[in-house]
Amino acid sequence: MQLLANPNVLAGSPPVSGALPPGAAQGIEPGTLTIPAQLHQLIDGYEPTPLVSLDALAAELGIGRLLVKHEAQRFGLPAFKIIGASWAIYRVLATRYHDVHGHAPPATDFAQLRDAFGEFDDLTLTTATDGNHGRAVARAASWFGIAAHIYMPAGTAAARVAAIEGEGATVTVVDGDYDLAVETAAATGGPDRLVISDTSWPGYVDIPQWIADGYSTIFGEIDTQLDANGWAPLDAFVVPVGVGALASAALAHWPSGAPDGPTRIAVEPTTADCLYRSLIAGEPVTVPGPHESMMAGMNCGTLSMIAWPAMRDRFDWCITIDDEPAAQAMVALDAAGLVVGETGAASVGALIAVAQHAPGGLAAIGLGPDSTVLCICTEGATDPVNYEAVVGHPPR
């Protein structure tokens, strides 16, 4: 475990320095849906994912309450990614529809959107993925009758490849790491081959921002669930970091740290610790592969350009962990009745690692018996073979 107090964090809730100017990527193109939750609530099968209080594990860790946002099922997929991918794809197609017809696509129900976007069946959506984002893009493409071509790094679990192919997408496994998959997918983009990436680079910022915007639905649900249960305001949250799209969405929702808001904690694998190294350097640092953690969704060597300023300015702590704390978290979550995969368990794994190895335990990051801590658990068992190897039985 490595534990870093972010030396760059800004006090209070200032604007993010170095971020895009207002409206650069956030403005809504002509259309009838203006916030992501409006789209998500139109889609068949929408329901909020559970927010679960794990009292026994909280007591074991020495905190007052441990809340888990359990993103094991979204529209039949075992991860949260469809929330971001669907909004970004809607924005792309709605803009194209408006350019063709001069008005917004009808959107009083999802069937209308399917019909409206059906004329774009000559398009292909493409992206790079370690699993969950690519499957989400493939699923959303299938909703609208559009092809998908997904690029994946070498060594990807066979179950994750098969799951994306099962969505009707073409999968190409590149001879290299996730960063090479990103470069390969980007190089194939064109007028009829649209790149739907959750990471960004110079000249490619709108779609990654829309993906991050899509995740706002998750945090809106959390606010509603906290209020409905009468749970105390959050003292801290822990979010896994790959390229940073989900993290930037969390930091946009809770821009202020203690005492006005929760302590903001990032976790990533020790072998793909690009945020940890970037915070030390004060500028983005790429970590060369191979990135071989079982926490596959965070096996990323380069941060998203547009996510970096918020992470630099607003995270209070960055924790890196090996696979063992994530495995311990998977077992503990299973004992509590929650099926959580390797990347999803990392947020709880970070708390376990600090409790076990930091001098003073969780007090080292300001947490104690009165603290309410939220962990974003981003996936279910996306690799059932490894899940069984870690937990001792198949997902149930």
Q: pLDDT per residue over 316-332, tens digit each?
A: 999 999 999 999 999 99
Is 81 assigned a catalytic role? yes
Residues lower than pLDDT 50 in the chain: 19-26
Output the pLDDT for position 23: 40
Distance (Å, whole) CA 286 – CA 224? 37
Output the pLDDT for position 13: 60
Block residue for tokens 């079982």: 294
Residues ≥6 apart with Cβ < 8 Å to 275? 241, 244, 266, 268, 303, 311, 315, 318
Domains and CATH numbers, the chain: 2-79+212-391 (3.40.50.1100), 82-205 (3.40.50.1100)
Q: Tell me the residue length of the chain.
A: 396
> Catalytic pick from 69, 81, 273, 323?
81
List phi, psi (to 5°) of 313: -90, -20
> Catalytic pick from 69, 130, 273, 313?
130
Distance (Å, whole) CA 180 – CA 303? 14
CA-based nearest residue to 139, from 105, 177, 159, 166: 166
- Positions of E strands within 156-262: 170-173, 193-195, 236-240
Distance (Å, whole) CA 155 – CA 125? 23
The pLDDT tens digits of the residues spanning 347-382 come to 999 999 999 999 999 999 999 999 999 999 999 999
Output the pLDDT for position 383: 93
Output the pLDDT for position 30: 52
